[in-house]
Chain A
């Protein structure tokens, strides 16, 4: 039954102009990320070549090519900013629309007079949303691979491709959290606008405010993998809030994404710091979403499923 619900929502989503527009923007930004990488690569190579020829002419030693030691994935590092920004908004729209389409249209009453229970309903919607999100990120992965092949002129190493796939998988997990936030807000709040704004409020909290509180970073730096110029960690407040850093998915996503794209260093512990809390949060939100599905029908409490 959940497959029927999933297929149905996929059919609806593909006809939702807002979703198609946002998905196109994310894919466009992935292409832009590649173009920016290509242009910066060409500029640096060009400057390097000029400098190298001048050094050679003056008989001085030529320093190594700066790209020789860097991971080619660092050329598309902008993706780790685009995903938490545009990607999260798309995820909210997908989750919100999956439920709001039924709720605002008044279809929920007809749906819940059919032999489906709330868990199956939520599972179906989540399956569809995951499929759509996976599809969009899959296209982004493909675009990233093509961009890299064009930029560096040859295919990346297997390790780099694996890192790129893990990066997109981590992005998928991160965005799935926002899909559920979008779903649960649409279930609990009858106004579509209020539901969307509430979900965006959670996104602002997770992306900007929480990292700032638990890490003592400035809002802009919360998306930037470069280390802080000024550290606030010595203050007692930030020492206390840093205990809750595991709750800052944006912060842990930034670390793992930076490590995978070769921009900063990250280790297995960073991976666990991201994977464990995000999986726990997704599981908890799923359970809450199933409970919240009851609010969609006129049914108020009791034993109906």
Chain B
């Protein structure tokens, strides 16, 4: 494990009494003979917007799949607000929301019908009211009664986000949320993420391969390369070391050299 990762992790764990929103300990996952996550340790505090950076195939989606209880880890543990994702998977599912990279819902149903279904599945008592509130929050009330099959990518992404927050989860997982969005859609999503943090105090874990993306909304980041966590800590610390528009490749190479 590299030095630059150890210090921020331990420092944060010792200095704060608050229970972490996400606590990953020695997480390893293998697909047959390939180790896609290699002893990852990470913590995300409540209310943080955490950016998880890495190229395609770095292991980001595998990590999110484990955190969202879709995949059982080979070894190690993940706790969401103290609930273990393997031991108490249902307790975890009640407090998380998840937006996969490609948002596909039921095309023949309207946005409202889709959202009511997911709200009910999450145990929301007054689903209709919660859906109306969520649509209002995302400023997409005008889309409510249109069938999803007629939606653009950006519209789908907003409804995808709506299904993930309709039950007001404590932690929201976003997998490549800006993928395929036009610039306007990206700006809108960024604004929404920041509002979710300020209005609801939601902890947001965001997978992306764009450093420029996380710099707009995240306070802390993790950098993953071929399953190995190269860095975890404050974005400010990282931006002091690298130019603001540095490519991930530069950072990767720098940390690879450090670790050698």
Contact = CB atoms under 8 A, between A and B. Distances in A.
Interface string A93-118: 00000000100011101111111110
Contacts of B141: none
B108 A299 contact: no
Interface in A1-48: 1, 4-5, 8, 11-12, 15-16
Which label, helix, strand, loop or mixed, suits the secondary structure of the A interface?
loop
A230 B5 CA distance: 82
A54 interface: no
B121 A114 contact: yes
A304 interface: yes
A51 B72 CA distance: 80
Given A1-B121, A110-B98, A114-B118, A298 B104 contact: no
Interface string B106-140: 11110001000110111100000000000000000
B2 interface: no
B93 interface: yes
B108 A112 contact: no
A106 B98 contact: no
Contact of B109 (A4, A12, A106, A299): A12
B69 interface: yes
Contact of A105 (B68, B72, B106): B106
* Highest count of chain B CB atoms <10 Å: which of A15, A110, A303: A110
B123 to A, nearest CB: 7
A304 B121 contact: no
B96 A107 contact: no
Given A16-B108, A304-B69, A4 B98 contact: no
B144 interface: no
B21 to A, nearest CB: 16
A110 B163 CA distance: 9
B105 to A, nearest CB: 6
Q: Which of B86, B93, B106, B107 is the most central at the interface, judged by chain A CB atoms within 10 Å of its CB?
A: B106
A64 interface: no
Contacts of A110: 98, 100, 105, 118, 163-164
Contact of B108 (A15, A117, A297, A302): A15
A200 to B, nearest CB: 23
B184 to A, nearest CB: 24
B120 A4 contact: yes
B93 A113 contact: yes
A115 B89 CA distance: 8
Contacts of A101: 106
Interface string A283-305: 00000000000000111111111
Contacts of A1: 121
Contacts of A16: 108
B234 interface: no
A61 B72 CA distance: 84
Contact of B70 (A4, A107, A112): A112
Given A16-B108, A298-B65, A305-B89, A115 B70 contact: no
Contacts of B93: 113-115
Contact of A109 (B100, B106, B113, B118): B100
B71 interface: yes
A4 B113 CA distance: 12
Interface of A: 1, 4-5, 8, 11-12, 15-16, 101, 105-107, 109-117, 297-305
Q: What 5 A-B pairs come out closest when comparing CB atoms?
A: A106-B104, A302-B72, A15-B108, A105-B104, A115-B93
Given A112-B70, A304-B89, 16 more contacts: A4-B120, A12-B109, A15-B109, A16-B108, A106-B102, A107-B105, A114-B93, A115-B94, A115-B123, A117-B90, A298-B65, A298-B71, A299-B70, A301-B72, A302-B72, A305-B90
16 contacts: A1-B121, A4-B117, A15-B109, A106-B102, A107-B106, A109-B100, A110-B163, A111-B121, A112-B69, A112-B70, A113-B69, A115-B94, A115-B121, A299-B71, A299-B72, A303-B86
